[in-house]
Amino acid sequence: MQQVQSNISSNLIYFPHLSPYMAGMISFMYDHYQIYKISDLVLKDLSSKTFNENDVSGPKSISVFLSTLAKESPRLVMRQVSLVEEFLDNGSVTVRCGALEAVSAMLSTLTDNEEDYNSSQEQVSTFIHHLEERVLDTSPFVRSRAFNGLNDLMSNKAGIKFTDKRLRWTKLSVRHMQDRSNLVRKSALRLLSELVADHPYNAIGDGTLRMSVWKQRLQVIKDEITELEPNYFSDDVNDTANPMNETMAEEGDADKSTNEVGQAQGAGAVRDPQGSQDNTIRQHGNSNVLAEATLKLSYVSDCIKFIKMVEQASDVCCELLYSKSKSEVIGIIEFFELLDSYGIENAINGIKKMLHLVWMDGDEEAKKVVRALMINYTKLYLTYKEDSRDARETARYIAKNLIKLTYNTSMADLASLEKLLGLLYLGIPPDPAENKGKKAPQKPTKPIDGIVIDTLWQIFNHDGAPPKNRRGAIIVLGMLALVENKISVKGLSSILSVGLDIERKDWVVVAFSCIAITRLVPSKDPQSFVLPKADEIIESLKRVCLEYTDDGEWFHAAEEALNTIFTISTYPDQVCTEILKKKAMEVFTQDNNDDNIDKSVSLSQLLFLVGHVGLKTIVHLEKLEADFKKKKIAQDGKKSEADQELEMIGGNNEDDFSDIVTAIREKELLYTEGGLLSKFVPLIQEVVSKPSNYNDVRLQRQAVLCLAKFMCISPRFCEDNMPLYLTIMERSKDAIVRSNCVLALGDMAVCFNHVIDNHRDALYGKLQDENRTVQRTCLMTVTFLILAGQVKVKGQLAQMAKLYVNNDRGIVDMCKTFFNELATKDNAVYNGFMDMFSGLSADPKLEMKDYKSIINFVAPYIKRDKHKTSLLKKLYERLLKAETRDQWDKLVIVIKEFMPKEVGKRASDKNKNKETAAAKFFQEVSDYIKAGFKPPLRLEENLPDSSVDAEGDVEMEDAEGVEAQTSTVPDGEAGEDAESGVKEEEADDMEGVEATSETEEDDEEADAEGVVNEKESGVKEENNDVVPDEENEAEAEEEEEDGEVEDEEEEEDEEEEQEEDDEGEEIEEDDDEEEEEDDEVEEEDDRVVREKVQSRRKRAVESSEGEVQESDEEGDDDDDDDDEQMESNYEDSDDE
């Protein structure tokens, strides 16, 4: 027997493919011959095995064996439950997963049989405890398996036996829907969906879970109990029975939910003051009613607890709709459909939010998400519940639901709804998996047909229809007309008679009627389309623009009317000129005594029309230019080769046309004396520059908006008025004006990038505006400009990162979106990380908690080990120079984000040397951090009285008391080091960017090189900085030879260095005359460098705030000033 067990164990370890066969053999032996000792021995032997992280085949083989054996012979495994518990505590994740599958299989076996369940209550509770305990495992795979086990228990009709566990499992599911692993979140979501679909709270009512309905039922029961016993709710014992006064139930409370029923019965009996045998029939009746009422109270209270947790899960799912896992998103979409069917009231928030998923584009997984969204909306709004109704009734139901989708929506919601309805009108594509292999693939399903369109037009034309329904109908019709223009053509008469009827004073209907008219023109071939009733439409649009009203919705209607004119009119400039002239005459010739007309309102209308006409004129010119180029390309294709050569000789008229358009845009529209738009420029500047004189809020908004649109026309006008515009954006007290200014500034950045490039700080400054609307607008604008490449993010990434800790959830979400998109660009986050770190560290208002949150959010975007190591070197150099505890703490927070999880891990054989060097560096950083912060010493305290000994060696202690060592390096390398040091120093002075030295040589070479000075943002280096080792060597050599600071270069030729050390003389004789001159040049070069070093060291000692500068050993060839000085020295040398 022992030999058999040994062979089975060995085969499991060394031959993983035999695992299911071994389990089947042991199961066969037990089922047919009742041999169980082998299984006991095998399980005992396997449970004692331990595995390290690199073992793969062994744990996997044991996991498969254990799960297979438990599924085929669960009672055999039940004999050794203690060994299964040891498997659950195994260090291998794979083994723990197999043990959980075994527990789930045994639990299913016990719950399927009623007799086994009744006789094994304690064992069932133990198994459930193991599953609940493992939802807190460190491995996401184990946590997911634990939820799968609970889900299997609920789905096999055994869930009704665990009513007392439902609230606890619901709470676990809601909690782990916020897990970091999407695998765990999906498993928790499946369990929660099963709990909602099979909830036990359908004994009262229709089974829906509307919170408002259940609260009403609770109040009715409370009133009934109060009538029977007035002091029932005043007793402290029953305070917990009222869910209105408690927060989320504790873990232990959820397990006792069903026990409250029995307690309630006992409570009712105890509270009966006449509980003796002498009670009357009436008193017995009251006690029975009270007991029944307490049962209802407990039942309704549990239901309300359950609904609260489900609503909390719904809010969490709203945040998970934009998860990177597409399968998780599809599961959430289906979950919202389930919540809506059971009446969860806040599910509508998720249904509206998932509407924006329609823009998801990319691979097949993204298409699956869009298809799931279309199916979901079809089931929710476009599927009639009763099949017995006719087609007209179904169309009326669908039309009403489509109209309801337009209620209380933003412009972003309408844009997404327009996209979705267009896709639904074209039809839902069939599932690719179902069509695979079929000769005749399924056709798309069209939930919106012609009958629904006719019903929508009927609602729009109905005189008694509520304004809300008429608005919704024309909105939906305009959306569908974008896909098929025949829809608008069919209802053109209704649009003219109802939609553009200004007597109705419904400007929302007018605006969307104009949009529907715009969709009359097909997108494929607009040139050949003949517009019906064109003159009548133009006249109606003119009346809309010239109508006086103080309704703010008029501006939207007038905007869409002008857009429609520029779309359908052959000569829109003439039509708009007529509109502006008539409107100006009305404004400036109004009777001052007319009380029905407000001059500020009229002037606001005029300025709005002027600004929008100017902007649309530019768009119209660009459209004409594009049409001309298309025609030119078509004509060139028909010309012969001789004609094309002749045209090349004579010139290209395409460039002439573009030059004419540019001249009109930059010079004529706003600067021609006879131009119509140019006559309004002084008026606009007068209004916006004197807000105290023209203090009407609406007038100021429209005037500033008009000025912004004019600035988008001409770069000259934009540059001339930019100071005025920035002043308005900075000083205006109206948040809407500031928001409009930020938006328009983004448009100007796209049009005239060279003009806005010098005013980027003004744009970024509004990220910290006191108004959240302005912050959101600025963040959205800056995000677009940066991702589109119109504005550089360098130096401003810290401002963007600070928005991650904003109190507004919307701003935080947009900040996440920005960094997600920025991370897709090549190393964008890595390149700007040090700038961002400097900006965050230098902000005294940023709390340490918020600083840590920002770093934890941004750091994971840097994924490459090479980049992490590079940043670690730069940060470690700063850590060595940290002067305050605050600097130290902030640096340590960042360094820990980039440090490997296991410092000092053994190197692999393949890259042993490289890995060992990296591990050594990581260990050094780790040890330095563990040592804690030590305040640096002052440089004056470190410098000894005599820094030169008899042999010329320099001894100097750095800021931390570390001895600076001298080293000898060949001439060429020292020259390169000196040049790089000067270049980095110049880059610091001019750009304020931290200069860092990254050493990729061996440790000995790194020690030999000097420490490069580095500037931290907003903090000046003190005089305790270390003088580079090269300076020490130069000083030693110079004092030995000339008594002064000698040559600083480490990389001289060894022969020349030996001659200088021994003889102390210059090379005066040489056979070659040119070599002698070169030596003299080098000598003069050395003298210049020594003078620089002396002057810098002198300033560093005298000034308490001066910085120790790096000396240039041979001089920088790229430095013009040094070159000029060297040339003068050369001339002096020649004279001598």
Are 908 and 982 within one domain? no
Residue 915 confidence (pLDDT): 55
pLDDT by residue (tens digit) across 34-67? 887 888 888 888 888 887 766 778 888 888 999 9
* Assigned token pair, 537: 């439409």
Asked if the structure places residue 77 within a domain, the reply is yes
Q: Which of 968, 960, 1107 is nearest to 1032 (CA)?
A: 968
Residue 224 to residue 217: CA distance in whole angstroms:
11
* Assigned token pair, 132: 């609940």
**Dihedral angle of Cα 784, 786, 787, 788, to the nearest 10 degrees:** 80
Summarize the confidence of residues 69-75 as an average pLDDT.
89
Are 979 and 1116 within one domain? yes
Q: How many CB atoms lie within 10 A of CB 1135?
A: 6
Q: Which of 295, 301, 307, 308 is nearest to 239 (CA)?
A: 301
Place of tokens 């200088």: 1060
Residue where one domain finishes, among candidates 132, 157, 182: 157
Are 48 and 121 within one domain? yes
Residue 324 confidence (pLDDT): 85
Q: Confidence band (pLDDT; 50, 70, 90) for 204?
A: confident
What residues have CB less than 8 Å from 669, skipping those under 6 apart?
614, 617, 618, 675, 677, 678, 713, 714
Q: Confidence band (pLDDT; 50, 70, 90) for 788?
A: confident
Residue 307 to residue 192: CA distance in whole angstroms:
12
Q: Which of 862, 785, 865, 789 is nearest to 827 (CA)?
A: 862
Are 907 and 979 within one domain? no
Using an 8 Å Cβ cutoff, are 665 and 677 in contact?
no
Asked if the structure places residue 361 within a domain, the reply is no
Asked if the structure places residue 153 within a domain, the reply is yes
Q: How far is CA 806 from the centre of its chain?
A: 14
Task: Indicate the DSSP class of residue 165.
Answer: G
Are 1123 and 983 within one domain? yes
Asked if the structure places residue 147 within a domain, the reply is yes
- Greater confidence (362 vs 678) lies with 678
Residue 194 confidence (pLDDT): 93
* Assigned token pair, 512: 């969307």
**Dihedral angle of Cα 353, 358, 363, 368, to the nearest 10 degrees:** 80
What residues have CB less than 8 Å from 88, skipping those under 6 apart?
96, 99, 100, 103, 130, 134
Are 148 and 43 within one domain? yes
Are 979 and 909 within one domain? no
Asked if the structure places residue 418 within a domain, the reply is no
Using an 8 Å Cβ cutoff, are 714 and 669 in contact?
yes
Residue 706 to residue 608: CA distance in whole angstroms:
6
What residues have CB less than 8 Å from 905, skipping those under 6 apart?
919
Range of the domain at 899: 864-931
Residue 608 to residue 614: CA distance in whole angstroms:
10
What's this model's pTM, rounded to 2 decimal places? 0.73
Q: Confidence band (pLDDT; 50, 70, 90) for 825?
A: confident
**Whether pLDDT at 92 is above 80:** yes
What residues have CB less than 8 Å from 714, skipping those under 6 apart?
665, 666, 667, 669, 670, 671
Residue 792 to residue 310: CA distance in whole angstroms:
45
Mean pLDDT estimate for the chain = 77
Summarize the confidence of residues 25-29 as an average pLDDT.
88
pLDDT by residue (tens digit) across 129-138? 999 999 999 9
- Greater confidence (234 vs 941) lies with 234
Place of tokens 């000029």: 1124
Residue 369 confidence (pLDDT): 93
Are 6 and 73 within one domain? yes
Size (the chain), residues? 1136
In the chain, count of helices (H) and strands (E)? 54, 2
Share of the chain above pLDDT 70, in %: 72
3-state per-residue secondary structure call for 317-346: HHHHCCCCCHHHHHHHHHHHHHHHHCCCCC
φ/ψ (deg, to 5) at 967:
-150, 155
Asked if the structure places residue 336 within a domain, the reply is no
Q: Confidence band (pLDDT; 50, 70, 90) for 1089?
A: very low
Amino acid of residue 1083? E
Are 151 and 10 within one domain? yes
Q: How far is CA 992 from the centre of its chain?
A: 29
Are 911 and 983 within one domain? no
**Whether pLDDT at 592 is above 90:** no
Q: Confidence band (pLDDT; 50, 70, 90) for 789?
A: confident
Q: Confidence band (pLDDT; 50, 70, 90) for 288?
A: confident
Residue 804 to residue 179: CA distance in whole angstroms:
20
Place of tokens 């599958």: 101
Least confident of 103-112, 587-596, 729-738, 822-831: 587-596
Using an 8 Å Cβ cutoff, are 332 and 354 in contact?
yes
Asked if the structure places residue 897 within a domain, the reply is yes
Asked if the structure places residue 670 within a domain, the reply is no
Report how many domains make up the chain. 3
Q: Which of 660, 549, 638 is nearest to 597 (CA)?
A: 549
DSSP secondary structure string, 551-565? Answer: -TTHHHHHHHHHHHH
In a 3-state reduction of DSSP, which class is residue 1052?
strand
**Whether pLDDT at 2 is above 80:** no
Q: Confidence band (pLDDT; 50, 70, 90) for 247?
A: very low
Q: How many CB atoms lie within 10 A of CB 765?
A: 17
Are 983 and 927 within one domain? no
Residue where one domain finishes, among candidates 157, 184, 218: 157
Q: Which of 747, 853, 765, 738 is nearest to 804 (CA)?
A: 853
CATH code, domain with 142: 1.25.10.10
Task: Indicate the DSSP class of residue 1109.
Answer: P
Find the largest Cα–Cα distance for the chain: 139
- Greater confidence (888 vs 905) lies with 888
Residue 431 to residue 9: CA distance in whole angstroms:
47
pLDDT by residue (tens digit) across 1019-1069? 333 333 333 343 333 343 434 444 433 343 444 444 444 444 444 433 334
Plot region of 864 (φ>0 → left; ψ -120 to 50 → alpha; else → beta): beta
pLDDT by residue (tens digit) across 852-880? 999 999 999 998 889 999 999 999 999 98
Residue where one domain finishes, among candidates 123, 157, 191: 157
Are 7 and 142 within one domain? yes
Share of the chain above pLDDT 90, in %: 39
Q: Do β-strands 969-970 and 1051-1052 pair in parallel, antiparallel, or remain unpaired?
A: parallel
DSSP secondary structure string, 427-483? Answer: -BPPPHHHHTT-SSPPPPB-SS-HHHHHHHHHHHH-TTS-HHHHHHHHHHHHHHHTT
